[in-house]
Amino acid sequence: MNKVVKVGSRGSALALWQTEHVIARLKEAHPGVEFEILIIKTQGDKILDVPLARIGDRGLFVKEIEEALLDGRIDFAVHSLKDLPTEQPAGLMIGAVSERVDARDCLVSSRYASLAAVPDGAVIGTSSLRRKAQLMA
């Protein structure tokens, strides 16, 4: 009997799509391997009434998944890189980065046709600290 590889994922539609995508790629290379997705609810998933930037806790969407990795409940996890802290906890590493399906983000504006058209000092809303850093660079 084959061992089932347990894959940790958040339960959002995007997280599950990303996880299924990674599993499909792995199955192409290893057709005999079975995978099981374990949905893990993170602190960031539970906080619905406060802007995440106000909380400011690093790893809001990964801590519970990291704990599941460290205690052996899952074999690996699939994350959006934007959710990972810049430094990984002891005992964990980024094992692979998949090819991006679509690298575009989206600017929604009634005033500007593109990000290049947005003037310096304009206010842009995002909950991602990495996106904020990219915009300010």
85: its two tokens: 């802290």
- Out of 83, 102, 105, 120, pick the active-site residue: 83
User: Is the CB of residue 40 less than 8 Å from the CB of residue 62?
Assistant: no
- List the helix and strand counts (H, then E) for the chain: 5, 3
- Clarify whether 83 is annotated catalytic: yes
Query: How far is the C-alpha of 133 from the C-alpha of 39, rounded, in Å?
Result: 30
d(CA 57, CA 10): 18
Contacts of residue 59, Cβ cutoff 8 Å, sequence gap at least 6? 66, 83, 84, 85
Tokens standing for 53?
């930037």
The catalytic residues are: 83
